[in-house]
Every structure is written in C-alpha cells, then in structure tokens.
Amino acid sequence: MSDSVETVLRALISAAVVIAAAYLGFALLQWGARRYSDRYPALIKLIDRARRPFRFLVGLVAAQVVSTRIAHVHGTWIDTLEHGLEIGTIVALVWLAITAVNVIEEQILKNDVKRDRDPIDRRRFQTQITLLRRLIVASIVGIGVVAVLLTFPSVASLGTTLIASAGLISIVAGLAAQTSLTNVFAGIQLALSDTIRVGDVVVVDTQSSAQSGTVTQLTLTHVEMRLWDGRVLILPSVFFITQPFENWTRNRNQIGGSVFLDVDWGTPVEHVRQEVTRILEGSDLWDGRRNFVQIANIVGATMQLQIGVSASNPENLFALQSLVREKITEFLIVRHPESIVRNRTEPLAQPPEDAQDAERDEKTEHADDGAATDEADKLPTHR
C-alpha cells in the first residue's frame, strides 16, 4: 500500500472517529436533557434546535481533520479547501450562537407568561427582551462577518492601516450612515425608556392625516403599526423621538371612544340612554366601563349627541362603535321618526281682515282718481 493511500485512509478514519465521538456526545446531551427536563425545560428545545447547525459543524470539523492529514499533498486546491472550511466553521458557530439566543428568549418569554403580573408590565418586559435579543444577534452577526473577512490575508494585512486611520474612517462612516445610526439609537431609546411597547395603541400625525393603530413590532430601525383596516404603517424609530404622538394604552389596556349623532331637538334623550344600555349589555365587545349619552353641542336647529363606549382593544372598539351607530340610527327611525334632523320654515304672519279690506278700498279709490284725471286731460281747452 502506497504512502498516499495510507495517509488518506488514516485521514478518513480520523474523520469517522470525530463524527462518531460528536454524535455520541450529542446523544448523551439529549439523554441528560430529557432526564432533567423538569428542571431545565429550555435545554431540550435548545438541543432540538441546534441539531442542524451541530451536524453542519461536525461535518466541517471532520473535513478539517481530513485536510490536515493530507496537507502535504501539493496543490492550490488544498489551500482553497482549508480556507472554505475555516469560513464554514465560523458560519456554523454563528448559527449555533444565534439559535441559542433565540431559544433563551423564547424560554424567558414563556416563563413570563406564567407569572401573574400586570399586562402593561408584561408588554414592557417583552419589548425589552425582544430588543435585547436583536442587539445580541446583530452583534454576533457583526463579529462573524469580521472574523470571515480576517481569514483573507489581504484584509488581515490592512489591519494596521485601518487602525491608524480609524479616526478618519469613523468620521466618514458616521456621516454616511447618520440616518441609519440615528434610527438604531432611537429604537434602543424607545425600548429602554418604555415610551411605547408592542401592543400599545398609538395615534400619529402623518403628512396626510392622523392615523391610529396597534404597535405590532418594534425593531432597531422602525416601528410597525397595524391600522384598523388591516393596513400596516411603517415609521422610522426616530419619528417617535422627534414627533409628538398619543399613546392610548400607556397606563391601561382598555380604551374608550365616542359615537356622535346629529338629531332633532325633539329627540327623547332618556329613551336613547336606555337603548344604548340595552345594546352594550347585549354585546360581547363592551368591557363594561364607559356607557353614557349626553348632549355635546347644539348648532342651529340640530342637537349633537355623544355616546361614550369602551372596549378592550382597538378592533373591538371600532366594531362596537359601528354597532352602536347602526342600532341607534335604526332605533330613531323606527321608534322616534321625529328625531330625524329636518329644516324648519315658518311663513310670515297674515295681516287682519279689516286691515286687508281697508288696504283694498284704498287701492280702489286711488284707481278711480287716476281714471278721472285721465278723462279730464282728454277734454279740449277753450281760450
């Protein structure tokens, strides 16, 4: 048997030993995780999630063992193979680290759900944990990218030059990425200052009009809001630092709203109150807090009623407002048609009959005098 063949066989045997040892160790970890699943429930999830990156890493390590055994073989493809395996190992380690961070975040949030705490505090905690996870993942990816770049000799040789000119580069990079960095720092400030949280109902004033919606995602660069009609409004994080906005659920989850109706002065307000109470008590959308009917304004011959309602979230509030508006309109049309807004007109008062007769006689007398004057003008004049 030649030396080269023997070398290759030894390399393959070494790789097989590495793979077998790795899988044996992984199986022992699974056995231990299942045995202590009650004490460490996240460990089983971590091992299951890490199965694919672990296999990828084991394959790369085995390939590196083979390449090291046959390193004496001449050829540029060996160097290229080793460089590729080194990059692949870095990628696998980054993959494993990100998987571990995601599993830890999920377990922390899962444990928090089991705790009996205020929903506002829970949303605050979830927002901060999610942002912290994104920061860690971004840092891991950045470190992985730098590690991959440093595997190239040309990039590594530039390290001293880059360090020497770090001041100029930082200034240029800061000016070029000013907007992006501002959004990143704004996103961190939003999460840490607890100004808004995931699940909050906010009202923002955009260039077109005011928009209200629920915060569905808070990232390092932007905030996503789901509007009442299903649209998603995406705003940069710096918007919530530099522009004023309303947070309806800053201190409580429930929100309130009003329904305004223009009715006639003859509307029985007490009957409307009773009907609104009946509608709200028969609806699952109402949270039992706000229920009132009052006269908000009077303009001319129109009276404006304000009906106050409340719900547990924006979707239920919008549906409840629509329901009350529809039912009260139908109630007024069927039961109290006199409540429909109408324009009132009143003719001028007629003069008494005696005054009308006197005015008629006066007009007749003036007509007779005019006729006599015309006849006199027609007679010939004698001199």
Asked, for residue 316, whether it belongs to a domain, the answer is yes
Same domain, 295 and 197: no
> What are the tokens at 289?
């807090």
Asked, for residue 156, whether it belongs to a domain, the answer is yes
pLDDT classification of 176: cutoffs 50, 70, 90: very low
Give 130 or 122, the one with higher predicted confidence. Answer: 130
> Contact 57/93 with Cβ under 8 angstroms?
yes
Same domain, 278 and 223: no
What domain range includes position 216? Answer: 152-252
Q: Is the pLDDT of residue 19 over 70?
A: no
Count of CB atoms within 10 A of residue 272's CB?
21
pLDDT classification of 15: cutoffs 50, 70, 90: low
Helices 76-114 and 119-150, axial angle in degrees (round to 10)? 170
Q: Is the pLDDT of residue 213 over 80?
A: yes
Same domain, 215 and 158: yes
Q: Is the pLDDT of residue 382 over 70?
A: no
User: What is the C-alpha to C-alpha distance for residues 272 and 265, in angstroms, rounded to an integer?
Assistant: 13
Q: Is the pLDDT of residue 383 over 50?
A: no
Ranking 20-29, 122-131, 265-274 by mean pLDDT, the lowest is: 20-29
Q: Of 229, 204, 253, nearest to 315 (Cα)?
A: 229
What b/e string do you get for 90-113 counting C-beta neighbours within 10 Å, with b at 16 or more? Answer: bbbbbbbbbbbbbbbbbbeeeeee
Number of domains in the chain: 3
Q: Of 254, 361, 264, nearest to 304 (Cα)?
A: 264
Same domain, 38 and 85: yes
3-state SS of the chain is CCHHHHHHHHHHHHHHHHHHHHHHHHHHHHHHHHHCCCCCHHHHHHHHHCHHHHHHHHHHHHHHHHHHHCCCCCCHHHHHHHHHHHHHHHHHHHHHHHHHHHHHHHHHHHHHHHCCCCHHHHHHHHHHHHHHHHHHHHHHHHHHHHHHHHCCHHHHHCHHHHHHCHHHHHHHHHHHCHHHHHHHHHHHHHHHHCCCCCCCEEEEECCCCEEEEEEEEECCCEEEEEECCCCEEEEECCHHHHCCCEECCCCCCCEEEEEEEEEECCCCHHHHHHHHHHHHHCCCCCCCCCCEEEEEEEECCEEEEEEEEEECCHHHHHHHHHHHHHHHHHHHHHHCHHHCCCCCCCCCCCCCHHHHHHHHHHHHHHHHHHHHHHHHHHCCCCC
- Which of 67, 90, 116 delimits the end of a domain? 116
Asked, for residue 44, whether it belongs to a domain, the answer is yes
Asked, for residue 141, whether it belongs to a domain, the answer is no
Same domain, 22 and 111: yes
Asked, for residue 130, whether it belongs to a domain, the answer is no
Same domain, 81 and 173: no
Same domain, 91 and 158: no
Asked, for residue 139, whether it belongs to a domain, the answer is no
- Which of 252, 271, 287 delimits the end of a domain? 252
pLDDT classification of 376: cutoffs 50, 70, 90: very low
- Which of 252, 286, 319 delimits the end of a domain? 252
Please write the tens of the pLDDT for every residue from 245-287: 888 877 766 678 899 999 998 899 999 999 999 999 999 999 8
Please write the tens of the pLDDT for every residue from 31-41: 766 776 666 66
- Single pTM value for the model: 0.53
Same domain, 317 and 239: no
Same domain, 184 and 233: yes
pLDDT at residue 221, as a whole number: 83
Same domain, 243 and 291: no
pLDDT at residue 379, as a whole number: 45
Write the CATH number for 276. 3.30.70.100
Asked, for residue 125, whether it belongs to a domain, the answer is no
Same domain, 261 and 240: no
Please write the tens of the pLDDT for every residue from 116-125: 766 767 777 7
Q: Is the pLDDT of residue 160 over 60?
A: no
Same domain, 245 and 267: no
Asked, for residue 372, whether it belongs to a domain, the answer is no
Write the CATH number for 210. 2.30.30.60
